[in-house]
């Protein structure tokens, strides 16, 4: 997981994914399959990507009662992804249930997928959180609280913005993953993201992995764009 650049494959169907991947000429990538793609293509898209040697973050952000999440995770474990996730707002009991499901569904002799919790979405601002979720503490406090719950539940890390990664590491240790979307180059469109950061900022903050979607997938030359991103991400790691 550490130091990965994860490409968010936010496409409508497998055909679009194939078109995107074709110019990479078989290069093995770390890709994220989210709701848009999974709800259309189902488990078959995971089999296809795994069959081509890609590592997979299955970003379905489970959030339901513990029993339902446990059963769903048991099924998802059979897809043998590298990383899956839940919403920390579902609570500690739900997160523990997610791990139980993963443990039960993981075949003997295989590693269970890592499981992380979404803290506050990177599209949420502090003002929105205060007014819409009626959480009246600073956003960083809420993120740290959710991260602590996730760690207590036994999860492997969290999804957060790069802005919260350093305090999370300081509080919960370096081995607790911080996977950060909302990463943008200076010249990129922000889109719907609120808590954005550059790859340089993310690296300085010590994030485990960055997630990059539209900046690469909507680029006119995705391979070149990916290389540019990798360079920026790697350069700052030296």
Ligand X SMILES: O=c1ccn([C@@H]2O[C@H](COP(=O)(O)O)[C@@H](O)[C@H]2O)c(=O)[nH]1
Known binding site for substrate: residues? 10, 32, 59-68, 122, 184, 193, 213-214
Residue from 142, 178, 193, 208 touching ligand X (CB under 6 A): that is: 193
Catalytic residue list contains 61: yes
Question: Does residue 182 bind ligand X (CB under 6 A)?
Answer: yes
Instruction: Tell me which stretch binds ligand X (CB under 6 A): 88-96, 97-105, 211-219, 220-228.
Output: 211-219
User: Could you tell me the two tokens for 82?
Assistant: 């590298």
Site string for ligand X, 146-175 (x = CB under 6 A): -------------x----------------
Shortest approach of ligand X to residue 173 CB, angstroms? Answer: 21
**Sequence-distant contacts of 63-66: CB under 8 A, at least 24 apart:** 63/87, 63/89, 63/90, 63/94, 64/90, 64/94, 65/94, 66/90, 66/91, 66/93, 66/94, 66/96, 66/97
The Cα–Cα gap between 160 and 163 comes to 8
Q: Which of 101, 157, 181, 199 touches ligand X by CB under 6 A?
A: 181
Judged by CB under 6 A, which of 72, 118, 147, 205 binds ligand X? 118
Q: Which residue is nearest to ligand X (CB)?
A: 213
- Burial, 166: exposed, middle or buried (Cβ in 10 Å; 0-12, 13-18, 19+)? middle
- Per-residue b or e along 177-187, where b marks 16 or more CB atoms closer than 10 Å to that residue's CB: bbbbbbbbeee
Binding site members = 10, 32, 59-68, 122, 184, 193, 213-214
- Interaction between residue 178 and ligand X (CB under 6 A): no
CA-nearest of 16, 17, 13 to 31 is 17
- If one asks whether residue 34 binds ligand X (CB under 6 A), the answer comes out as yes
- The one catalytic residue in 50, 61, 74, 166 is 61
Residue indicated by tokens 């995705």: 222
Residue 121 in the binding site for ligand X (CB under 6 A): yes
Cβ atoms within 10 Å, residue 55: 17
Residues that bind ligand X (CB under 6 A): 8, 10, 34, 118, 121-122, 159, 181-182, 191, 193, 211-215
What positions carry a catalytic annotation?
61
């Amino acid at each position: 997981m550490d130091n990965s650049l994860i490409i968010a494959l936010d496409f409508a169907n497998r055909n679009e994914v194939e078109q995107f991947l074709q110019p990479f000429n078989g290069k093995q990538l770390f890709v994220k399959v989210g709701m848009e793609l999974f709800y259309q293509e189902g488990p078959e898209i995971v089999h296809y990507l795994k069959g081509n040697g890609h590592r997979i973050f299955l970003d379905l952000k489970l959030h339901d009662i513990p029993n339902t999440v446990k059963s769903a995770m048991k099924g998802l474990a059979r897809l043998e992804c590298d990383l899956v996730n839940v919403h920390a707002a579902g609570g500690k009991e739900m997160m523990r249930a997610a791990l139980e499901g993963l443990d039960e569904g993981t075949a003997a002799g295989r590693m269970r997928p890592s499981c992380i919790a979404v803290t506050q979405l990177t599209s949420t601002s502090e003002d929105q959180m205060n007014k819409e979720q009626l959480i009246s503490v600073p956003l960083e406090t809420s993120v740290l609280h959710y991260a602590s719950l996730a760690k207590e539940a036994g999860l492997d890390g969290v999804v957060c913005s790069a802005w919260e990664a350093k305090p999370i590491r300081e509080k919960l240790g370096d081995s607790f993953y911080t996977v950060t979307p909302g990463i943008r180059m200076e010249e990129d469109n922000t889109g719907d993201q609120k808590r954005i950061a550059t790859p340089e900022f993310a690296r300085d903050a010590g994030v485990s992995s960055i997630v990059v979607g539209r900046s690469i997938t909507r680029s006119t030359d995705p391979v070149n764009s990916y290389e540019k991103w990798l360079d920026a991400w790697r350069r700052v790691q030296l």
